Each structure stands twice: as C-alpha cells, then as structure tokens.
Structure 1
Amino acid sequence: MKSKLNRTNQLKHQTRYMPGLDGLRAIAVIGIIIYHLNKQWLSGGFLGVDTFFVISGYLITSLLLYEFESNGAIDLKAFWLRRFKRLIPAVFVLVFTVTLTTLIFKPEQIISIKQDAFAAIFYVSNWWYIATDVNYFEQFAFMPLKHLWSLAIEEQFYICFPIVIVVLLLTVKKYRNISLIFWIVSLISLAFMIYIAQPHMHHSRVYFGTDTRLQTMLLGVILAFIWPPFKLKENPNKALRTIIDSMGGFGMIILLLLFIKVDDNSDWIYNGGFYLISGITLFVIMSAVHPSGYFAKMLGNALFIYIGKRSYSLYLWHFPVISFIHSYFVDGQMPIYVYAIDIIFTVVFSEISYRYIETPFRKQGLKAFSLNRFKKAPFIRTVTLMLITVPTLFIFAGAFDKFGTNQPNQQSSYNTNEIDKYLVRPIPVDDVNFLGKSDFKKDKKNEVYTDLKPLLIGDSVMVDIGETFKEQVPNANIDGKVGRNLYEAAPLVDQKYKQYNNKSSQVILELGTNGDFSEAQLEELISKFGKANIYLVNTRVPRSYESHVNQLMADAAKKHENVTLVDWYKRSEGHSEYFAPDGIHLEPSGVRALSDEIIKHIAPKKEHS
C-alpha cells in the first residue's frame, strides 16, 4: 500500500510543460495562415490542421493516461469542464462578433452566416458543410466561419473519446491491446476515406467527415501509449538522444516540404496520404516532447512559444479577418498592403482574445465576469460581451432576415437546350432605327451575329457570360455548369454533341477554372470534335494550376491547325474591375470583355471589322 502511495506521489510530480509542442503548434498555425492568405505561397499549408489533430490526440491521451495512473480513475466531468473553459468562450465571442459584423457590413449574407453560426455553436460545422455540399478548397462564397469545421471534429472527439478510453482501460486494461484496438479503428477510418473518395472530384464528404478524419487523431492517441511524455528519461545516453533529435529534424524537413509541395487538388492525400503525413508528424512529436533533446529546445524558442500559446486564438480569428478584408478586393490581384492589414488585424484580435477572454476564463471561470463596476476588468469584459451578445440573439431569432437572402448569387448552370424551349427573345433594340436617320450606326459591342451557330462548353465562367453572349449570338448552343472540370466534357460530348465534328462547326471550350488536367485529357477532348474549328479559352484563376493549364492550351493551339487560342488571360490582365472578389467569376464589364474576345475570334473578319 505504501509502495503504491509513493508511486502515486511520484507520478503527480512528473507532469511538465513541453515547449516543443507549442513550437510545433506555431509552425502548424503559420502554415495554415499563409495558405489562407494566398494558396500559391504555400499550397500544402492546409496540412497544418492535421498537425493539430495529431497533437490533440497525443496530448489529450497523455493527460488522461497520466490521471488514470495517478488516481486509478478519470474524472470525466472535470476533464470536460477544462475543455469547456479552454475552448468554448473564445468560439462564442468569435461567432457572435462575426455574425454582428456581417449584419453591419454584409447584411445580404446574414441568413447564410446565421446558419453557419448555429452549426459552429453546437460544434457540428463539419457535418453542416457536408450536408450543404461545401467544398473547403474551392468554395468561392463568403464563409468566414468555415474554418470552424476542424474545431467541431476536435470537440466531438473530446466528448466521446474519454468515455471510450475509460471503458477500455477498465475492461481491456493492457495498453498493448488498447493500442491495437485504436490502430485497427484508425485503419478502418483510413479505408473508409479511400472507399468514398472519388478521383478528380471535390472531397467535402471525406475532408470534413469526423469518421474519415479520425485516423489522424488516433495516430496521436497510439503514440501516447508508446511514447508517454511524462515517463521519458531526462538524461538518456548521447547516442539515443542523437537518434531522437535526428528523427525530429528529418521528420520536420519532410513535413515542411509537404507544406510546400502538396496541392489541395491532389487525389493521393485521400488514398493514404493523410495517414502517411500524420505518421511523419509522430516522429516530430516524439522529438519535440523529449525533455533533453536539442530539437525540442530549438522548437521551444521564445518566438515559437509566444505564437504557439496563441495558436488557438490565431486560428480562430485569421480566417474571418481574411474573409472580410479580401471580399473587398479581387483574389489574385491583391495589393500587397492588403496582406499586411490581414496580419495586423489577425494579431490584434488574437491577442485580445488570448489576454482578455481565453486566459481569464480558463483561470477564473465565471469570476472573470462581473457587473460590479469597481471590478474594472471583469466589468468591462461583461459589458462588452453583452453588447455583442444581445444584438446577436436578435439576429439568431430572425429579426434581421429581411436584409438577407438564402439564395446563391450565381446560377448553377446555363444550358440553351433547356432555356430556348421556353424563352422568346425580343428583337435587339440596337437593330431598330427609331429616329429614321440615314447616318444611324449600330454599336459594334451589341452587334448581332445570326449566321453563327457555335457550341460553347464551359464551367462557371461560361455560366457568367451565357446570357450576354446569347444576345449577340442568338443561335449559339451554350452548355455551362458550375464546378465542371475539363475531364467531364469528353463524356458530355459523346452524349450530346457528336454532330459538332465537321469543318463548318465552331466549338468554344472554356474549361480550366476548377482544376488541373493533363495533355492526354485535353487531346482526347479535342479529338472528339474531328475537323471542327476549336477555340480554347484560357483562364485567369488565382490557383497554382493556372500556368499549367494555360500552357497546355497554348501548346495545343500550336500543334493543331484547327485549334485557336482565345487569350482571356492576356485580355484581362490589369483589369481587376472585370472580376468578382474571388478573382475568377465575372462582373458585368468582365462578361462583356470575355464575350467580345470570343466573338472577335469566331466572327468573320469582314463582319467584325
């Protein structure tokens, strides 16, 4: 009995602060912020979320195991209360602030943001975005709370996992067997992700799913059984310490290279990639938590500790700040000072959250708030919270729904095969000479080409220009669909447009907005149209694949006599007014410019001159 008591007392003195983990958190959150500032700067920065998942699984399990070994039980109520005090207040303040700010600056968005806010408050954002088919990587809508999907998964994990581990510790008991169970479940999660992931499609279900992302957290859980941080020797022999440091250093190099090289369009990350990347992260964590390692000391430098301690605050605030500020500028044509404003506002709001919301509530609980005006800090905190909360509750109650709309701003498709069945088009006003003057001249921009009967296949940009283009080329056959990729066009042609394959046919292909494609895929599509005159409209899209798809189109135009390049990239250069804030979809001036550029190529020169 005495021996057991001494062992318990010894264990109680073994917990320690691990600065290396804060350093790793700092690297993860910096990667995420850079990715959201501009994807082309760090195409794999989104992997920082998985780093957080692994750290969470490892640290939570380590603490739970430590408590179980110290006390012979785990106080679930106390655990959940600590999690509540650590996470909930900051999220609520963020959600209320974003909702209120939306009402003030973007009232037309209030309904959709309110819905996202409800999901965030109940920590089901990930499932809400699955239900509404949101694409994390390519969703262009204004969604300043979208990043809370990852916190929803973590909170769901924090609620369920402690119960599971308590049951396993009391029934299975042996750590080796418990670890094996968690490993099998992680493989099931991996297998499920691979099974439901579809090549070349957006992966909202697999990316947001708690079940498919559980694999990452469980790898951290398993490491806690194998490498418990509070039992590591403080002074291992030199050879072992060198091996541990080398693992961490090598793992970090690989992780940083993945941050640089991985692309969010890559299919391989859903076919074991996340599992592999998380596995590499385990080696970094093993080294980062060692009490005497040089690598851990390097990660635990003062700057990284400062950022790491505020990583939660930085993650919470950076995305809403970027979403609001960037919504007033054109993506891909952003002035450099905008990024400086992003960073300044993110740091300021994060510091306020860390100092005046998170830290006081974590340490004092409800005592951090007071209506006693003599308690200055608690009083100010309480009044500020009330000023945010009260109007937000009215928003939630629907008092301001009249300002918003729940309808998407952009139609999902434009297909003249369907439209022309029901639509009777008026005679263009520009064709009528009301004044009867002999010198009356028609505006060339509105010239109508009734002899042209081209086929246009495209994505959301084609949807943008469809109506305007149809006004000038009334016999055009236009098939545009939001989210369409080039590889989807080949089966579409086989199904509907085989007749456009002779020399008199004109085919305009505007495909490249939504993702990369290969030379073989482009050649296959071109071959579908035989001897038709094909016009490839290149793209201006602020994504990493822009230059590649444009080069493939330029090469195809040089290779084939019947293929012509419509250089929208060049035509739109320096014209930020052409684009919506996402830098892709078109404003009215852009619609007119792209329509004109296409017509300039397909119309007979004598008519267009």
Structure 2
Amino acid sequence: MSSIPYTPGLDGLRALAIVLVMLFHADMPGLPGGNVGVDLFLVLSGYLITRLLLAEIQLSGGVRLRVFYLRRLWRLMPPLLLMLALYCVFAPYAWPEYPFHVRDVVALLLYIGNIAAIAGSFPEKLMHGWSLGLEEQFYLIWPLFMIVLWRRCQGHLGVVLLILFMLMTAWRFLYVQLGDTSGVAYYRPDMHSTGLILGAALAVGGLSVGRWVAALALMALVFAVFLPRSSETHLIFFIPLAELAAVLLIASVMQGAAQALGHPLAVHLGKLSYGLYLFHYPIMKCLLEQDMPWYGVFLFGATLSYLLAWISYHSIERYARQRRHHYALQL
C-alpha cells in the first residue's frame, strides 16, 4: 500500500471536528449544529483514503485489496475493541435497566450501527457508532469502485465524482421534501455519504484556493454550527455547508494556509481524535443522565476520554501501527 506525506494541519482539522462533536454530545446550549464535526471527519476520510488508493493505482495499476483491508482493520479495530471491552465491564452498572448491551456491542463490532439505527434497533448508549459503520462500509466498497472508475473514465474521474456528489445531495433534498420525518434519514448511507464522495473528488481533482479562503471556510462552518435549524434543514442545507467548508479547509491546509490548524496542541488532539471519538460518547451519555450541567459533562467527560485515548494511542494503537507496517512490507 502506497503512503502519502504527513500533513500536520489535517490532524488539526480532526481536532476541530472532535471538539465540536464532544461539545454537541455534552449538550452545550446554543450549539445546535455541533454534530457537523462528523461531516468534517467524513470529508477528510474520503480525501485521505482516495489519495492512498490513487497513489497505488497510479503506481501499479490496481489495489492490493487484502493489504488495504488488513491495514484498515489494524487501524480501526484495536481501539474499538478496547472501548467495547470497557463498555461491557461498566455499562451494566451504569444502565442496569437497559437490556440491549450485547446487541449494541455486536452491532458496532460488525460496523452496522447505522443499519441498526435505520432498522429501529438504536444502539442507544453507543449511538456514535453509526458513523463508524458508515466509514467502514465506504472502505469496503470504495477500492473496487475506484478501480472501475479509473479504468473507464480516468481522464474525467474528478468530474464523475463531483457529479455523483451533486446527485446524492439532490436525492437527499428530494427525500426530505417528500416528507420523511422519521429521524432515521440522518443515519442512512444514501443520505450521509456525500461528504465521503466530496472528499474523494477533492483528492482526484484538487482545488487551488487563495489564502483568504480558510477564513471564508471557517465563517461557513460557524454558520453550520451555530444557526438554529430543524432536522430537515440540517440535512438539506447545513450538512452540505459543512462539507464545502471542510473541502476549503483541506485545500487551504494542503497549500500552506490555515496555519492555526497546524498548532502543536491541535495536532496532538487530532492524533488522539479517533480514541476521543470512541470513548467520549458513552461517558458523556452517562454523565448527562446524572443531571450534571453541560460544562461539567464536557470537562469531566473530555478529561476521562482524553486519558483513555492517550493510553490507547500509546499502547494498542502503537502496536497496531507496527502490525500495519508489517503487512505493508510482507503482503
């Protein structure tokens, strides 16, 4: 599997995304759109994975699928196993009346948290697992999709992906206008894969931006986070706004702008962002049910999540990174 140069500012973007998500899950007042932090993650995932795939396709004409899937597994599964193991230990004490702990853990292990939500079997205490399922489903099919697209429309791949993004965005708008008010549309892959596709389009086509564009993107993100909205307007307006802001921020970072995202503290939090995302939700969910004020939930929950993410990053994730490197060399 080919590699791409490390860019610290992209970790800074992860830090911005995880802070927004944690503030949202702490129920911070006046932050109705903090969950667009997930959309920042999705655009960045689509961008980075597509760059990796493109580098290998251009080098060898294809993708070593076994290597790709094993590397993804070694990157994502070990921290997830740690979080779920801790959940299995503590959740029965935190929620003794909740009967679905085993069902929910299995759903996350199989990366079908979003499908379970759509089916009405909400993994209530592990609801953040919906996005993990969406990303893993993307990783499963995207290498095959990219190989086919590269062979059939190599010269127009970026345009094809941009058209796909626009069609999926139009479908989401149409679906909402047809009157779905069930609340599960947010978790549907056809409703929430646009960020992954847009990130992929950026990886293929690139985007030249001015130094002022980072400020414009942050302003758009402020609107996406703070403006009041209904669930319908969130789907049809604020998600695309956050996705476009993410694209502009990524392009700015790659061209040496958005220097604040390269600050050492932001980069440090970005490196721990996967662990922070995994651990924070059940912790904050439990604290909120104890009637703790939002700032207490955030401070205590973020601190405990940080400690667990730091331990995970420097222990099992370090080991997993070594195993990924081993597979890259041996397979």
* TM superposition score normalised by structure 2: 0.90
- Report whether the alignment pairs 1:245 with 2:211: yes
**Structure 1 counterpart of 2:153, from 151, 166, 172:** 172
Counterpart for residue 160 of structure 1:
141
Structure number with higher strand proportion: 1
User: Distance between the aligned counterparts of 1:187 and 1:336, measured in 2?
Assistant: 39
User: Distance between the aligned counterparts of 1:260 and 1:272, measured in 2?
Assistant: 13
2:89 alignment partner AA = L
TM-fit CA distance, 1:28: 0.7
Preserved contact between residue 28 and residue 49 of structure 1 (Cα < 8 Å): yes
Preserved contact between residue 9 and residue 262 of structure 2 (Cα < 8 Å): yes
- Report whether the alignment pairs 1:121 with 2:83: no
TM-fit CA distance, 1:366: 12
- Could you give the per-residue CA deviations for residues 407-456 of structure 1, whole angstroms, max 9, x where no partner exists? xxxxxxxxxxxxxxxxxxxxxxxxxxxxxxxxxxxxxxxxxxxxxxxxxx
Counterpart for residue 80 of structure 2:
91
User: Distance between the aligned counterparts of 1:320 and 1:366, measured in 2?
Assistant: 31
- Report whether the alignment pairs 1:257 with 2:223: yes
Aligned length: 325
TM-fit CA distance, 1:317: 0.6
State, as a whole percentage, how many aligned pairs show the same letter. 29
User: Distance between the aligned counterparts of 1:338 and 1:51, measured in 2?
Assistant: 23
User: Distance between the aligned counterparts of 1:301 and 1:366, measured in 2?
Assistant: 27
**Structure 2 counterpart of 1:278, from 228, 243, 247:** 243
Highest RCO, 1 vs 2 (Cα 8 Å, sep ≥ 6): 2
- Could you give the per-residue CA deviations for residues 311-346 of structure 1, whole angstroms, max 9, x where no partner exists? 11111111011112222226xxx2854543222211
Counterpart for residue 196 of structure 1:
175
Counterpart for residue 60 of structure 2:
71
Q: Which runs of 5 or more structure 1 residues have no equivalent in the other structure?
A: 1-11, 135-141, 229-239, 368-609
Counterpart for residue 329 of structure 2:
none
Q: Which runs of 5 or more structure 2 residues have no equivalent in the other structure?
A: 327-331
Cα separation, partners in 2 of 1:195 and 1:310, compared to 1, 3 Å: same
1:131 alignment partner AA = A
User: Distance between the aligned counterparts of 2:297 and 2:184, measured in 1?
Assistant: 33
Counterpart for residue 340 of structure 1:
299
**Structure 2 counterpart of 1:298, from 250, 256, 260:** 260
| Matched position secondary structure for 2:124 | coil
Please give the residue correspondences for 1:553-592 in structure 2 after superposition, counting only pairs within 5 Å. Answer: none
Cα separation, partners in 2 of 1:105 and 1:63, compared to 1, 3 Å: same
| Matched position secondary structure for 2:290 | coil
TM-fit CA distance, 1:266: 4.5
Cα separation, partners in 2 of 1:365 and 1:277, compared to 1, 3 Å: closer
After TM superposition, what 4+ stretches of structure 1 lie above 6 angstroms from structure 2?
none
User: Distance between the aligned counterparts of 1:15 and 1:91, measured in 2?
Assistant: 25
Cα RMSD (Å) of the superposition?
A: 2.5
* TM superposition score normalised by structure 1: 0.50
1:77 alignment partner AA = R
- Could you give the per-residue CA deviations for residues 77-122 of structure 1, whole angstroms, max 9, x where no partner exists? 111111111101111221222122122333321x322211111110
| Matched position secondary structure for 2:5 | coil
- Could you give the per-residue CA deviations for residues 210-268 of structure 1, whole angstroms, max 9, x where no partner exists? 1111222111111111118xxxxxxxxxxx8xx532112221222133212244x2522
TM-fit CA distance, 1:349: 1.3
**Structure 1 counterpart of 2:252, from 287, 298, 311:** 287
Counterpart for residue 6 of structure 1:
none
Cα separation, partners in 2 of 1:337 and 1:225, compared to 1, 3 Å: closer
1:300 alignment partner AA = G
Counterpart for residue 46 of structure 1:
35
Preserved contact between residue 55 and residue 285 of structure 1 (Cα < 8 Å): yes
Preserved contact between residue 71 and residue 324 of structure 2 (Cα < 8 Å): no
Counterpart for residue 149 of structure 1:
130
Structure number with higher helix proportion: 2
Cα separation, partners in 2 of 1:133 and 1:195, compared to 1, 3 Å: farther
Counterpart for residue 119 of structure 2:
131
- Report whether the alignment pairs 1:351 with 2:330: no
- Could you give the per-residue CA deviations for residues 374-428 of structure 1, whole angstroms, max 9, x where no partner exists? xxxxxxxxxxxxxxxxxxxxxxxxxxxxxxxxxxxxxxxxxxxxxxxxxxxxxxx
Cα separation, partners in 2 of 1:203 and 1:194, compared to 1, 3 Å: farther
- Could you give the per-residue CA deviations for residues 466-517 of structure 1, whole angstroms, max 9, x where no partner exists? xxxxxxxxxxxxxxxxxxxxxxxxxxxxxxxxxxxxxxxxxxxxxxxxxxxx
